[in-house]
Structure 1
Amino acid sequence: MPPFRQVGEKQLPHEIIFMSWSPKRDLIALVNKAGEVLLHRLANIQRVWNLPPNENTGKEVTSLAWRPDGKLLAFGLADTKKVVLCDVEKPESLHSFSVESPVSCMHWMEVTEENSILTSFYNAEDESNTLLPKLPALPKNYSATAKIFSEEKSDEILKLLGDVRLNALVLGGDSGQIEIYAYGMYKIATITEVYGSCLSLCLSSDLKSLSVVTELSTNTTPEITYFQLDTSLLSDCLPEVTRMARKFTHISTLLQYLKLSLTCMCEAWEEILMQMDSRLTKFVQEKNTTTSVQDEFMQLLLWGKASPELQTLLMNQLTVKGLKKLGQSVESSYSTIQKLVISHLQSGAEALLYHLSELKGMALWKQKYEPLGLDAKAIEDAVTAVGSFILKANELLQVIDSGMKNFKAFFRWLYVAMLRMSDDHVIPELNKMTQKDITFVADFLTEHFNEAPDLYNQKGKYFNVERVGQYLKDEDDDLMSTPSTEGNQWFNFLQKSTYLKDSPLLFPCYPEKSLHFVKRQMEGVINLCLAKPAEIIGKSVQQKQCIPLYQASKSEVSCPRLISLPSLWNDKSRNLHFVMFHMLESSQSKLIIFRQPTDVSRSTNDALLAVEFGISLNCSAAESQEASRYSCLDARFYDEDLITVVLRDASEQEGKDRILAQLPLSLIYSDEESDGQFARDSSKRLEEQCSDIPARTVFLEGQWRILENMKAQYVSVNGIRKVACVLSSNLRHVRVFEMDVEDDGEADEEEEEGESRSQDVTCEEEELNQSDDVQPNSPEAAADVTEESLGS
């Protein structure tokens, strides 16, 4: 029986350009040339979900990474310069952000270091959850973009943040810029210490160093180079970085929540925008008389008689039924906006104030946080900006309150007047109107029915009756009418007080500006104070190693980069970075393994080895040494002691099948001392010194399998779940293997599969729903499974 059990094989309709196993589950994420992101499962060899390309996110996927807990998937898009975080349960974008240049590779790591300071911080993390009320979920019937906050349990933010332990998404750009995002959301470092397009990168789990492999295209052949960067500021200040990143991520998420709340408010208001104001505007533009609309309505109020033009507007365009509907619409819309301001805007802004105030306290602890770039003055400005936003939201509440009273009285009076015009019966209760009511309506007409000066020149400018809408317009224009401060004792007191008027303790109120304007200003100030640490931490990163590896061949440049060598691996237990690559031109058969301590202060010889492969077939050892030499096509770390390789016969004879094998590190480094010291010449590329690199021939016994009828080229593995996926050179043929079948009993396998199924019950139900339209045993179903499914 072969050592690895094949559990699936598929031919796919589109070429696969990236593949990556989930760190925790039997799920593999694939990206094909059509721009689709696909998720497949090993247990039943079926597709879980498919996220097709769309205009909002983008179509050209250039990189892929799993969050270490396996609950989120990140992918980069070149055409829109975005990074999207997707929920593993369903194909939905939970969060996305823009980047300056397209992302060519990404790596999502988790900090493994434990210490007493961090443990106490993890325990104290729940303080804000205890002190702050839960943010109310946004209405589902409004913004489609509010999915993250519209679940019945509004724990979506926590799903985004994940575990309290720091995890970081590292993005490598095609222009050499590297960015580190804490929790995949907040940028904590911008690094510009490397040159060329990033092919592969790996941040060590102790945060001490970052290894990067880049490709620099010159006029001649592209050159592949290895860099090691010192990121010791992150490891030295790990508790502070974790706390700061956690706070910043909360703040970024709250800004998004406020933005979506405002979007919901705008959608609630838009329904009435086109009704009252647009009809009055049309009436002004079409009427022949010189009398103003205000006078027309005032005459109707005082004398009970309307001019023919006004009567036409009211009876034909507005109608009694239309007026009643408009009154209900205005009231419903105002009350919705009022609820959103009170429950969403205010609670979100208060939570923002809480986190910013805590951040300010951290910034004042200069010994700890000043090296990270926290600036107390910038945070103070952000607190002031949030205060101004809260003031503006309160001002909007007052405008809504007075607007509701005014409109109720106005609509009631106009309804009675229109009933009289149509000679309908008026209910006695409605007919009673005191002098106080008449004065109230007259004041409303005087204040609200002014025609805008540029009304006749600019079509589309609304008549200025409805006052709430101007606060929600996303424009830089000043408010057309501001609330009156006459008789406001606090305002008068402030104007008379020389000291209080310009006091920094009072939040500025911007009486002329809309809520959108104040919100945009607040976002700008907060983003400014959140951006400085990324710059400061980025500048602290220093280049410690720069080793030109080799020149890439033309065939190598054209292949999909993420699934081809070179490959980087972070050995957590030994704190080493491994780089695996092969120099196609100078040494066809050798796999080069280069290891570097993650601690840049440790001096070490360039532990560089060239590995050649032989396999003990059914023949004598002497014949085997002569006949069965193999070259390595692809190599991936299976776990910290094993490398999975795809091999081909060095002579590449017709009919020779390729081989999948497991290579123990102990075979490579078993007798390290006898290999001698390799003295690298820093003025030359490694490939020019290839003959001097210590070489070791490894004969694999037992841990290999022939891949029959498949031109295998690439492999993706997951040592935790003990699975491997082999991809052919035409990028459309895959085979999936369980790697450690011999060690596990059948019962254990069934138990593990059962556990996997129970974990992913949501996904499976969705999957079954998707495939209901084809009979399971029909030829169509077989074709569909062959084309679209991949056992993962």
Structure 2
Amino acid sequence: MPAFRQVGEKQLPNPVKCMAWSPKRDLIALANTTGELLLHRLASFQRVWSLAPSEYTGKEITALTWRPDGKILAFSLGDTKQVVLCDVEKAEILHMFPMQSSVTCMNWMEVVEENSSLGSFYNSEDESKLFLPELPTLPKSYNTTSKIFSEEKSDEILNLLGEVRLNILVLGGDAGCVELYAYGMYKIASLGEVSGSCRSLSLSSDLKSLSLITEVQSADGVSEICYVQLDTSLLSDCLPEVTKMARKFTHISTLLQYLHLSLTCMCEAWEEILMQMDLRLTKFVQEKNTSTQVQDEFLDLLLWGQSSPELQALLMNQLTVKGLKKLGQSIESSYSSIQKLVISHLQSGSEALLYQLSEVRGMSLWKQKFERLGLDSDAIDGAITAVGSFSLKANELLQVIDKSTKNFKAFFRWLYVAMLRMCDEHVPPELNKMTQKDIAFVADFLSEHFSENEELFDRKGKYFNVERVGQYLKDEDEDLVSPPNTKGNQWLKFLQESTYLKVSPLLFPSYPQKSLHFVKRMMENVIERCLQKPAEVIGRSVKQAVFLPLYAVSDNSEKIPHLFELPSLWNDKKGKMHCVVFCMPEISPSKLYLLRKGTDPNRHIPNSFMSFDLSHYLDSTDDDGVAAQSRYVYSCLDARFYDDEMLTVVLQGSEDQNSRRLLAQVSLASSLSCDSEFNWEPGVRLDQQCSTIPCQGLVLGNQWRELENMKAQFVAVNGIRKVACVLSANLRHIRVFEMDVEDEEDEGAESQNASADQDGLETSMSGQGPVEESLESEGESREQEGDVFQKSEELLQSQEAL
């Protein structure tokens, strides 16, 4: 019986560029050449959901990885240079952030502590819940581009952070740029001095080193594959402090996004119809023949009940009674929505932001613990001041909304009655009563809002600014057209006359001439500079510990996606060794090489270097019936670490052996037990001294299976879930295997077991947070739609293989 049980096979309509197994569940994520992200379940390779590219993302996915808890997928976009965090349960984009260069590889690891020094910190992590109310969820009616804060529950930040234990997303770029993001959101280190383009990377689980595989252009123009080890001991030495700082800064980054989305909702609540009064008045001025001012025309109507023919035409033909009523309702509805968002969202978010920044400031004053991480109390003070200014501007907007609402209600009530009288229509008795105080109120409103402004026409194309709220929500650098009138404000007068209070750091500047958007942008810039400094300081502490050139890349080598190219890098679960597996087809095509390097650059651990002879002997009988052994020589197409002690490989036989392809497990036990250290000759590439590397024979036993009718080329594995996915050379034909069981000979028993296995997997997934049933049924229907296409593809593939 063949080893490994096949549980699914599929022909995909588009070539696959990236594939990665979930670390916790039997799910595999695939990214194809159209920019679509697919999630498949192991059982029969059933599709669960797909995420199509959109205007907010892009169409070129260059790398893919899972968060260690399996709840979030991270993928990078080459065309827009962005990194996206996606919720696995609901296929929703949670967070996006830009990168300076295109990301070529990524790795998301979780820290494994050697001691329990963080226990007390973990227990006190959620103290902020005792002092801060939960953030209100954003309205679902608005088209926000992020789904973090639009769920029914209000624990969005904790969902993004995951567990308290630190996890770090490591991103490598094509220009040697490497960045580390705590919890996938806050940039905790930026390394810009890595030579070459990153092909693979792995951060050790003890945070002591970061290993990379890079492609470097040598002085003679030859591309070389190199192994680089960076010393990140500052992160491991200050793990409790780094964890606390990272969580606080991630909270701050998330709160900034919350405020940004709240302001977006406010802008969407403000409607263009509110500008109708301004535009109508401007048109009235341009068309009328008289030299009287607009406010005089309206005052005549207010005091004497008489209007000029031009004003009567404006009111009755352009504005109309029905239009006035609709405009009044729109203003009241819009202002009410904006007011609620300011009170419930902007103010709540600002308070939470001030709390978190104040806690970070307290941390920065603990010089012994946090100074070497780059926390600067002066920069944090500036950030706190910027948040205070933003809160003041939000309160100023509330005052403007409150005053404008009262003004418009009185104005529209009077104008509505006046227009009804012009039409000789009945005026309701409740509207016909107007006191002298009401008349004075409308007169003040007319004199303040209905004066022409030539400068405003030059800038905005209109003479009037009756509507005062919209200017606060415009993302422009220009000053407010009509800033609030502070004449007679006793507090401001007292401040201006006080020599000391005027420059006191205890008072937040108010920026009376600026919009809310402007002050928000200023606050974001100040906080961003505050958050960037630790990343720069930690980045400068990282030094190169090891640089080993492995082999030269041939110019005529076949160009395939970087994700599938060897070498493959592995960080063992004990956090003690980094392992690199690679092959050199130009030098020794029938050998596979394994390099093991200690993760602690400051501690000497023997580095083993082994090669495996890819020859395999099988028992057979000759023509005379005599028992014999046949020798098969293979080359390695792809290799991935199954776990700390096993390697999963795709092997190809020579042409005289019909180029048959195998999926096999290679034991690393003999290599791991090797105590001898390989003496690397400094300055010499490995492929120039490979004859001195110890070599071992390949022992497969029964841990292999021939891949018939398939030009297998690549493999993705997960040793925890004991699964493997094999991909063909054309990147469209996939087979999925369970690796710890043998295949059934009887086809009926095989299909029966596969069906039972599928039911069991669905049942087990339902106990650990299932993907929604609606998405599952959607995936099934999509698979049914593609059945005809898939069958034709399978027929073409089988003919190709034959």
TM range, normalised to the smaller chain?
A: over 0.9
Task: Specify whether residues 749 and 53 from structure 1 end up closer, same or farther in structure 2 by C-alpha distance, changes over 3 A only.
Answer: closer
Do structure 1's residue 756 and structure 2's residue 765 form an aligned pair? yes
Question: Aligned to 2:588, what secondary structure does the other structure show?
Answer: coil
**Alignment partner, residue 208 of structure 1:** 208
Q: State whether residues 193 and 543 of structure 1, in contact with CA within 8 Å, keep that contact through their aligned partners in structure 2.
A: no
Task: Specify whether residues 660 and 533 from structure 1 end up closer, same or farther in structure 2 by C-alpha distance, changes over 3 A only.
Answer: same
Structure 2: distance between partners of 1:515 and 1:458: 19
Do structure 1's residue 228 and structure 2's residue 233 form an aligned pair? no
Task: Specify whether residues 249 and 625 from structure 1 end up closer, same or farther in structure 2 by C-alpha distance, changes over 3 A only.
Answer: farther
CA deviation profile, 1:208-260 (whole Å, cap 9, x unmatched): 00000101235643111110000000000011111111011111111111111
What is the CA RMSD across the aligned residues, in angstroms?
2.5
Question: Aligned to 1:633, what secondary structure does the other structure show?
Answer: strand
Structure 1: distance between partners of 2:557 and 2:366: 51
Task: Specify whether residues 106 and 146 from structure 1 end up closer, same or farther in structure 2 by C-alpha distance, changes over 3 A only.
Answer: closer
Structure 2: distance between partners of 1:372 and 1:778: 56
Question: Aligned to 2:589, what secondary structure does the other structure show?
Answer: coil
**Alignment partner, residue 95 of structure 1:** 95
Question: Aligned to 1:117, what secondary structure does the other structure show?
Answer: coil
**Alignment partner, residue 399 of structure 1:** 400
> What does 1:63-462 correspond to in 2, within 5 Å?
63-113=63-113, 115-217=115-217, 220-457=221-458, 460-461=461-462
Q: Please identify, of 302-311 and 157-166, the stretch whose mean Cα deviation from structure 2 is larger.
A: 157-166
Structure 1: distance between partners of 2:784 and 2:386: 60
Structure 2: distance between partners of 1:146 and 1:706: 46
Q: State whether residues 43 and 761 of structure 2, in contact with CA within 8 Å, keep that contact through their aligned partners in structure 1.
A: no
Structure 1 position 774, deviation (Å): 8.1
Structure 1: distance between partners of 2:621 and 2:297: 110
CA deviation profile, 1:538-564 (whole Å, cap 9, x unmatched): 000000000000011245461111122
> What does 1:463-612 correspond to in 2, within 5 Å?
463-554=464-555, 556=557, 558-573=559-574, 575-612=576-613
Structure 2: distance between partners of 1:718 and 1:774: 25
Match of 1:638 among 633, 642, 651: 642
Task: Specify whether residues 6 and 506 from structure 1 end up closer, same or farther in structure 2 by C-alpha distance, changes over 3 A only.
Answer: same
Deviation beyond 6 Å, 4+ runs, structure 1: 620-626, 743-750, 773-778, 783-788
Amino acid at match of 2:7: V
Match of 2:778 among 760, 769, 774: 769
**Alignment partner, residue 800 of structure 2:** none
Q: Which runs of 5+ in 2 are unaligned?
A: 745-749, 798-802
Amino acid at match of 1:657: R
Q: Please identify, of 292-301 and 549-558, the stretch whose mean Cα deviation from structure 2 is larger.
A: 549-558
Structure 1: distance between partners of 2:67 and 2:786: 37
Q: State whether residues 2 and 743 of structure 2, in contact with CA within 8 Å, keep that contact through their aligned partners in structure 1.
A: no
Question: Aligned to 2:538, what secondary structure does the other structure show?
Answer: helix
Aligned pairs, how many? Answer: 784
Task: Specify whether residues 487 and 201 from structure 1 end up closer, same or farther in structure 2 by C-alpha distance, changes over 3 A only.
Answer: same
Question: Aligned to 2:698, what secondary structure does the other structure show?
Answer: strand
**Alignment partner, residue 32 of structure 2:** 32
Q: State whether residues 62 and 77 of structure 1, in contact with CA within 8 Å, keep that contact through their aligned partners in structure 2.
A: yes
**Alignment partner, residue 12 of structure 1:** 12
CA deviation profile, 1:289-345 (whole Å, cap 9, x unmatched): 221111111111111111111111111111111111111111111111110000000
Task: Specify whether residues 442 and 187 from structure 1 end up closer, same or farther in structure 2 by C-alpha distance, changes over 3 A only.
Answer: same
Structure 1: distance between partners of 2:201 and 2:566: 12
Q: Please identify, of 555-564 and 351-360, the stretch whose mean Cα deviation from structure 2 is larger.
A: 555-564
Question: Aligned to 1:109, what secondary structure does the other structure show?
Answer: strand
Q: Please identify, of 212-221 and 727-736, the stretch whose mean Cα deviation from structure 2 is larger.
A: 212-221
Structure 2: distance between partners of 1:198 and 1:687: 20
Q: State whether residues 614 and 700 of structure 1, in contact with CA within 8 Å, keep that contact through their aligned partners in structure 2.
A: no
Structure 1: distance between partners of 2:85 and 2:366: 34
**Alignment partner, residue 671 of structure 2:** 668
Task: Specify whether residues 102 and 4 from structure 1 end up closer, same or farther in structure 2 by C-alpha distance, changes over 3 A only.
Answer: same
**Alignment partner, residue 689 of structure 2:** 689
Amino acid at match of 2:238: C
Structure 1 position 44, deviation (Å): 3.8
> What does 1:691-770 correspond to in 2, within 5 Å?
691-741=691-741, 751-759=760-768, 761-770=770-779
Task: Specify whether residues 712 and 383 from structure 1 end up closer, same or farther in structure 2 by C-alpha distance, changes over 3 A only.
Answer: same
Amino acid at match of 1:767: E
Question: Aligned to 1:482, what secondary structure does the other structure show?
Answer: coil
Structure 2: distance between partners of 1:376 and 1:269: 38
**Alignment partner, residue 658 of structure 1:** 661
Structure 2: distance between partners of 1:634 and 1:505: 63
Structure 2: distance between partners of 1:338 and 1:586: 71
Structure 2: distance between partners of 1:436 and 1:46: 73
Structure 1 position 56, deviation (Å): 2.3
Structure 1 position 611, deviation (Å): 1.1
Q: Please identify, of 299-308 and 770-779, the stretch whose mean Cα deviation from structure 2 is larger.
A: 770-779
Structure 1 position 118, deviation (Å): 1.3
- TM-score when normalising by structure 1: 0.95
Q: Which runs of 5+ in 1 are unaligned?
A: none
Question: Aligned to 1:148, what secondary structure does the other structure show?
Answer: coil
Structure 1 position 708, deviation (Å): 1.3
Structure 1: distance between partners of 2:151 and 2:69: 22
Query: Percent identity between the aligned chains?
Result: 66
Q: State whether residues 598 and 607 of structure 2, in contact with CA within 8 Å, keep that contact through their aligned partners in structure 1.
A: no
Task: Specify whether residues 274 and 385 from structure 1 end up closer, same or farther in structure 2 by C-alpha distance, changes over 3 A only.
Answer: same
Amino acid at match of 1:167: N
Q: State whether residues 297 and 307 of structure 2, in contact with CA within 8 Å, keep that contact through their aligned partners in structure 1.
A: yes
Task: Specify whether residues 107 and 407 from structure 1 end up closer, same or farther in structure 2 by C-alpha distance, changes over 3 A only.
Answer: same
Structure 2: distance between partners of 1:216 and 1:591: 22
Structure 1: distance between partners of 2:460 and 2:779: 49
Task: Specify whether residues 787 and 479 from structure 1 end up closer, same or farther in structure 2 by C-alpha distance, changes over 3 A only.
Answer: farther
Q: State whether residues 618 and 631 of structure 2, in contact with CA within 8 Å, keep that contact through their aligned partners in structure 1.
A: no
Structure 1 position 184, deviation (Å): 0.6
Structure 1 position 120, deviation (Å): 1.4
CA deviation profile, 1:74-107 (whole Å, cap 9, x unmatched): 1111111111111112332111100101001110
Structure 1: distance between partners of 2:668 and 2:743: 19
Amino acid at match of 1:449: F
Q: Please identify, of 169-178 and 136-145, the stretch whose mean Cα deviation from structure 2 is larger.
A: 136-145
- TM-score when normalising by structure 2: 0.94
Q: Please identify, of 771-780 and 291-300, the stretch whose mean Cα deviation from structure 2 is larger.
A: 771-780
Do structure 1's residue 45 and structure 2's residue 49 form an aligned pair? no
Q: Please identify, of 542-551 and 46-55, the stretch whose mean Cα deviation from structure 2 is larger.
A: 46-55
Amino acid at match of 1:645: V
Q: State whether residues 140 and 146 of structure 1, in contact with CA within 8 Å, keep that contact through their aligned partners in structure 2.
A: no
